[in-house]
Amino acid sequence: MGKILAARLARLVATLFAVSLLTFLLVEQLPGDPVTALLPPEALHDLETMERIRTELRLDDPALVRYGRWVTDALQGDLGKSYITDQRVADAIRDRIPVTMELALLATVIAAVLAIPIGAFSAYREGGRFDRVMSGFTTASLSIPAFVAAIFFIWLFTLKFNWLPSTGWNRITDKGLLANLKTAILPASALALAPLAINARLIRADMIGTLKEDYILSARAKGLRSRYILMRHALRPSSLTAITIFGLQFGALIGGTVVIETIFALPGLGTRLISGIYQRDVTMIQGITLFVATVYVVVNLLVDLLYLLLDPRIRRQ
Amino acid sequence: MADATTHPGDAPLLVVEDLATHFAIDAGLVRAVDGVSFELYPGQTLGIVGESGSGKTVLARTIMRLNLGGNVRTSGSVRFSNQSLLDLPISDMTKIWGREIAMVFQDPMTSLNPVVKIGRQVTEHVRKHFGISKAEARNLAIELLQSVRIPEAEARFDSFPHELSGGMRQRVSIAIALACNPKLLFADEPTTALDVTVQHQILNLLGMQQQERDMAMVLVTHDLGVVAGRTDEIIVMYAGKIVEQATTSEIFHRTSHPYTEALLRSIPKIDQPSHTRLAAIAGRPPDLADSLEGCSFSPRCPYAQERCFEEEPELEALATDHLSACWYPVGTPENQEAWEKNLLAGRPSTLAIANGQIVDDVSVHLPSGTS
């Protein structure tokens, strides 16, 4: 148990090191110079000022030295300051992350909670009407990009019925949960559509396999009810792959809400990252990317640990 | 058709009449069970014996109406405690399953859910059928685990199946089957997946529990050695049909059907010298999708005559307790004649047996330790 944990932690550190180095080098390769992005157009001829700023920001040092400095600071929780707005990157993340985190969490929950019964009952009546309808639904959901679904939702729920706002964000702390959910539900649903389809298919396929197991037949021979067998005996052995996918989806959504945040004009991490890229805000891009990667690998680690809870056989190894 | 054994004064628990289970597949109609009839009385033990593919497992599952798939066609009748099982809706079957009729499956490695604790698996259906409380269920589970001789039953309540050996797991399966005190227990090859040393313990346990609970049992097996001395009556199945049906001692002492004889011959005997070649049955069971003319065992039968390939023998009473479906029953002069005729004609399946006997004779004279 301790051994597994140590090995996973070592892998996590290695992954983060690789991510940080890659991010740094990639941003380094971006065309354009942060100094030129920083200055008003008329100051661009003023080579002296540019040189001064460059020295101030210590952009003259070799790349590896700057990388070392950045990582050392990051390890102490300091992701540096934006070149453009002078805002601390950590503050920007703290300010923006609740929106993105809530969207990702809500989308993951919607995708998981709907996919479990859909997948389970499709598998139970394989080839039946429900299964066929759901197969059509999942195919459609997978082939529609999230932004198209988003636009459709806006058309339906805002323009047609006028039930939900199409833009903006109510913070829970300001306006309460209900108002918050009103602004969150459309973007979260748009985000959830593709993962929902994937989950439903995955759970279905897995359950079809599980339902052929001998222990399902012996559960039937005991006179247990179908729903009980599905939920008690079939779902849990099938849930390992599902749990993995849920975790990966949540991790991916933390960095994958960019387009949806932009469409719904939400003050999330994604929109902040986009503006950082437009402005050549090097520290902001690096900081947010590293943060997103960290969340992703930590979620992965938690998923691995969840395995141990779900399958007693893994616990023993 | 008359039952082979008589039981005055007692009503049969299970009456199977002309039961057929056919599977429609692309290649045609597979007659997995084809016109099977028998009766089973309370407390009685019936052995159903046959090779893989003889239809014995499908027969057991058809009677229980378990998991036969969408392409199955069943006809005939199954009466259990005066209910016609084949006509009951599945929701009524779930009230009978586990409570009135239970089943022990072949492989305890796969028939227990790997992620559900033993205690729950032993009692969840008791809770469903009788609505007992959690605490009562726990006590019952421990009692049951003790009754199937599982050591440290209390500790085992919270164990998972993978923490137990194969024999222990089969004991758990038996505890599950016995939990509701069923009137009828199907044991489908209950010892096939187990070590030889454990097989006897499990069979003895089943027999003991059966007597204690006065439960009827159907013991399905490919091994006549398993049913010897443990059953009241034996049905030998071949290609979905009963070929011989008699009391256990009749089957062993007055074997009538050549297939039964072949099965008996294939059991290794303790008094044979080691390295004696096992008498396998030549050929393989017929493809049940093909419609066969004549006796379905005829292609492999050492006694088969022309008539056997053309006309199918009916199951007929040789004695009051003995039914057999053969034109040339073993032990009759006609059978001896057929054997000699086939030997002279050089029929391969006949020669195989004759040769096997010669090999056996030779091996007796070999000094021990060689070969």
Question: Do the domain assignments include residue A191?
Answer: yes
pLDDT of B96 over the 90 cut: yes
User: By the CB < 8 Å criterion, does B127 face chain A?
Assistant: no
pLDDT of B59 over the 90 cut: yes
| Contact (Cβ atoms closer than 8 angstroms) between residue A240 and residue A207 | no
Whole-number pLDDT of residue A217: 92
Question: Do the domain assignments include residue A197?
Answer: yes
Whole-number pLDDT of residue A110: 95
Whole-number pLDDT of residue A231: 86
Q: pLDDT exceeding 70 applies to what percent of chain A? A: 98
Q: Which residues pair with B24 in a beta bridge?
A: B29
Q: What is the dihedral of CA A241, A244, A246, A251, to 10 degrees?
A: -160
pLDDT of B217 over the 60 cut: yes
- What's the one-letter identity of residue B106? Q
Whole-number pLDDT of residue A39: 74
Record: contact B94-A310, CB cut-off 8 A:
no
Record: contact A218-B67, CB cut-off 8 A:
no
- Residues of B whose CB is below 8 A from A215: 110-114
Closest CA to B98 of B75, B68, B66: B66
DSSP string, B285-313: PPPTTSPPPS-TTGGG-TT--HHHHHSPP
Whole-number pLDDT of residue A279: 83
Q: Work out the angle at residue B332's Cα, subtended by the Cα atoms of residues B329 and B335, and round it to the nearest 5 degrees.
A: 65
pLDDT of B360 over the 50 cut: no
Please write the tens of the pLDDT for every residue from B105-146: 988 889 999 989 999 999 999 999 999 999 999 999 999 999
Edge-to-edge strand ranges of the sheet holding B316-319: B101-104, B184-188, B216-221, B45-49, B233-238, B241-247, B322-324, B316-319
Whole-number pLDDT of residue B3: 45
| Contact (Cβ atoms closer than 8 angstroms) between residue A273 and residue A258 | yes
pLDDT of A215 over the 70 cut: yes
User: By the CB < 8 Å criterion, does A42 face chain B?
Assistant: no
Separation between Cα atoms, residue B29 and residue A308, nearest integer Å: 47
Token pair of B365 as six digits: 């004279």
Q: What is the largest CA-CA distance in chain B?
A: 73
Q: Which residues pair with B15 in a beta bridge?
A: B39, B79
Separation between Cα atoms, residue B32 and residue B37, nearest integer Å: 14
Whole-number pLDDT of residue B275: 67
Give the pLDDT band (50/70/90) at residue B359.
Answer: very low
Record: contact B113-A237, CB cut-off 8 A:
yes
Indicate whether this complex's ipTM tops 0.90. no
pLDDT of B364 over the 50 cut: no
Of A234-238, B7-11, B235-239, the poorest mean pLDDT is in B7-11
pLDDT of B7 over the 60 cut: no
| Contact (Cβ atoms closer than 8 angstroms) between residue B319 and residue B251 | no
Give residue for tokens 């004549």.
B294
What's the burial of A222, exposed, middle or buried (CB within 10 Å: 0-12/13-18/19+)?
Answer: buried
A58 CA: distance to closest CA in chain B (Å): 58
What's the burial of A75, exposed, middle or buried (CB within 10 Å: 0-12/13-18/19+)?
Answer: exposed
C-alpha pair distances (Å), B170 with each of A256, B148, B199, B202: 50, 10, 10, 8
B366 CA: distance to closest CA in chain A (Å): 47
User: By the CB < 8 Å criterion, does A212 face chain B?
Assistant: no
Average pLDDT, chain B: 85
Please write the tens of the pLDDT for every residue from B152-201: 999 999 999 999 998 899 999 999 999 999 999 999 988 888 888 888 88
What's the sign of the alpha-carbon dihedral A306, A308, A309, A310?
A: positive
Whole-number pLDDT of residue A1: 66
For A197-204, what is the mean pLDDT?
93
Whole-number pLDDT of residue B129: 92
Separation between Cα atoms, residue B103 and residue B84, nearest integer Å: 19
Provide the domain limits for residue A275: 89-316
Whole-number pLDDT of residue B9: 57
Give residue for tokens 């187990």.
B194
User: By the CB < 8 Å criterion, does A219 face chain B?
Assistant: yes
Please write the tens of the pLDDT for every residue from B302-334: 898 999 999 999 999 988 889 999 999 998 999
pLDDT of B8 over the 60 cut: no
Q: What is the pTM of this model?
A: 0.77
**Half-sphere exposure in the Cβ direction for A283 (13 Å, CA):** 27
Whole-number pLDDT of residue A193: 93
User: By the CB < 8 Å criterion, does A225 face chain B?
Assistant: yes
User: By the CB < 8 Å criterion, does B113 face chain A?
Assistant: yes
C-alpha pair distances (Å), B65 with each of A222, B16, B48, B110, B242: 13, 13, 17, 20, 20
Give the pLDDT band (50/70/90) at residue B2.
Answer: very low
Record: contact A215-B111, CB cut-off 8 A:
yes
Separation between Cα atoms, residue B72 and residue B326, nearest integer Å: 29
Q: How many CB atoms lie within 10 A of CB A131?
A: 18
pLDDT of B371 over the 60 cut: no
Record: contact A215-B129, CB cut-off 8 A:
no
Closest CA to B46 of B15, B25, B74, B72: B15
For A18-43, what is the mean pLDDT?
80
Whole-number pLDDT of residue B1: 41
**Which residue did the predictor score with more confidence, B316 or B281?**
B316
For B206-210, what is the mean pLDDT?
90
Record: contact B116-A214, CB cut-off 8 A:
no
Separation between Cα atoms, residue A198 and residue A143, nearest integer Å: 11
User: By the CB < 8 Å criterion, does B355 face chain A?
Assistant: no
Residues whose CB falls within 8 Å of the CB of residue B244, separated by 6 or more in sequence, listed in order = B234, B235, B236, B251, B255, B256, B257, B259, B260, B322, B323, B324, B325, B326
pLDDT of A203 over the 80 cut: yes
User: By the CB < 8 Å criterion, does A218 face chain B?
Assistant: yes
pLDDT of B274 over the 70 cut: no
Separation between Cα atoms, residue B123 and residue A97, nearest integer Å: 48
Question: Do the domain assignments include residue A20?
Answer: no
Separation between Cα atoms, residue B245 and residue B251, nearest integer Å: 8
DSSP state of A110: H
For A176-187, what is the mean pLDDT?
89
Whole-number pLDDT of residue B197: 82
Average pLDDT, chain A: 87
Q: What's the domain count of chain A?
A: 1
Separation between Cα atoms, residue B157 and residue A162, nearest integer Å: 57
| Contact (Cβ atoms closer than 8 angstroms) between residue B328 and residue B335 | yes
Separation between Cα atoms, residue A199 and residue A206, nearest integer Å: 10
A260 CA: distance to closest CA in chain B (Å): 40
- Residues of B whose CB is below 8 A from A237: 113-115
Q: In degrees rounded to 5, what are phi and psi of residue B160?
A: -100, 155
Record: contact B128-A228, CB cut-off 8 A:
yes
pLDDT of A267 over the 50 cut: yes
Question: Do the domain assignments include residue A15?
Answer: no
A104 CA: distance to closest CA in chain B (Å): 30
Separation between Cα atoms, residue A204 and residue A202, nearest integer Å: 5
User: By the CB < 8 Å criterion, does A214 face chain B?
Assistant: yes
Q: pLDDT exceeding 90 applies to what percent of chain A? A: 38
Query: What are the extents of the domains in chain B?
Result: 254-365
Question: Do the domain assignments include residue A254?
Answer: yes
CATH code of the domain covering residue A108: 1.10.3720.10
Whole-number pLDDT of residue A260: 92
Smallest Cβ–Cβ distance between A221 and the set B97, B124, B129 belongs to B97
User: By the CB < 8 Å criterion, does B67 face chain A?
Assistant: yes
